[in-house]
Amino acid sequence: MKSELFYRVITSVLFIPVLIFVAYTGGIYYLLFIELGIGLGAYEFYKILEKRGLKPFVFIGVLAALTLGWAAFYASHIYTVLTLTALLMFVCISELYRRNMDRAIYHISGTMFGVLYVGWLFSHLILLRQIPVLLYHHEAFQNIHNLKFYMFNPRGSIFADAYSLGAVYTLMPFVLAWSNDITAYFVGNRFGKHKILKRVSPGKSWEGCISGGIMGIIVMFVLRAFLAPWLNVLDCLILGILSAFFSPMGDLVESLLKRDVRIKDASSTIPGHGGFLDRFDSVLFVAPLVYYYLTLFVVGR
């Protein structure tokens, strides 16, 4: 137990500064950083399905998930739709030629679900980082060459400060999800009596969920004071409260998948944390929440 805690601390100490640096830098470096996570997560997911006896199309599924991240970086709606359409058609046609026709619908749906669950949800972290690019593309960038220069050389742009603001957008899901998880874990262990879904995750309690929501609100007000003055009080309350629901739901969904396969961890990729999905399951659900809230109610206000 102590060795596991030691590895958790070490990996967190190493990962967090890297995350902050890459998020602040942005551009192609951030894209590659998130794509690495998407690739690992998608591969882990398909290996979980294989342990269940299914045979998803691993290579094409991982490739499609990575393509969704790339399309998010360039805000390409056509390539997003094309990727999903081509993927569905490809796996359906490929299944026709599989020698064993048993459970074809499971293989097809499992492959599609992995792309959506990991690739689509996680690509919202890329969409968050690119909000300044999309905003200025709409308002100021009429020349496509200037846009390309800006995306790959943010420090050379007159909008460097605005571009750096995307780092704050990006870090919000991590801060909300992890502060929620940590608070819910300790409070739940000490005071948790009323379980949320005991059959899925015996450790998740309403006491932990509520305490996580309170911590989420506190964290949002701290961000507002130091990094995000453009947020108002209502924004902090809404994001903090909603993250108290979406963060544990992300954890519970991944727990459901692992319980179906009867495994404890998705993999052993991250020392002390298990697999990539074990560590970022909450972020997968919080990132879309933050992105759609900011784009609908905050950005451009």
36: how many CB neighbours lie within 10 A of its CB? 13
Half-sphere exposure of residue 224: CA atoms within 13 angstroms, side-chain side: 17
Cα distance between residue 95 and residue 98, in whole Å: 5
Cα distance between residue 110 and residue 49, in whole Å: 7
Which residue from 286, 292, 257, 293 is spatially nearest to 47, judged by alpha carbons?
A: 257
Answer yes or no: is pLDDT of 48 > 60.
yes
Cα distance between residue 117 and residue 245, in whole Å: 18
Per-residue model confidence as pLDDT tens digits over 140-159: 444 433 444 444 444 444 33
Q: Find where tokens 């995000």 sit.
A: 228
Structure tokens at 108: 């097809």
Mean pLDDT of 54-82: 93
Structural domain for 188, as ranges: 2-298
Structure tokens at 152: 């790959």
Buried/exposed code over 81-107 (b: 16+ C-beta within 10 A; e: otherwise) = eebbeebeeebeeebeeeeeeeeeeeb
**Which ranges constitute the DSSP H helices of the chain?**
2-25, 27-51, 58-73, 77-96, 104-114, 121-122, 124-129, 131-139, 144-152, 160-191, 206-226, 233-261, 276-293
Across the chain, mean pLDDT equals: 84
Is residue 8 within 8 A of residue 178, CB to CB? The reply is: no
| Cβ-Cβ contacts under 8 Å for 298 (sequence gap 6 or more) | 230, 231, 235
Per-residue model confidence as pLDDT tens digits over 179-204: 998 888 888 878 877 888 777 777 78
Half-sphere exposure of residue 270: CA atoms within 13 angstroms, side-chain side: 23
Per-residue model confidence as pLDDT tens digits over 246-282: 999 998 998 888 888 877 665 556 555 567 888 888 9
pLDDT for 181: 87
CA atoms 284, 285, 288, 291: torsion sign: negative
Window from 10-14, 108-112, 291-295 with minimum mean pLDDT: 10-14
Beta bridge partners of 270: 274
C-alpha separations of 287 from 129, 247, 267, 284, 295 in Å:
11, 10, 22, 6, 12
pLDDT for 45: 94
pLDDT for 7: 53
pLDDT for 206: 85
φ, ψ dihedrals at 195, nearest 5° = -80, 145
Per-residue model confidence as pLDDT tens digits over 157-170: 433 467 788 899 99
Structure tokens at 76: 């390409």
Percentage with pLDDT > 90 across the chain = 50
Answer yes or no: is pLDDT of 240 > 70.
yes
C-alpha separations of 9 from 5, 36, 41 in Å:
6, 22, 21
Is residue 52 within 8 A of residue 256, CB to CB? The reply is: no
Percentage with pLDDT > 70 across the chain = 83
Counting the structural domains of the chain, the total is: 1
260: how many CB neighbours lie within 10 A of its CB? 13
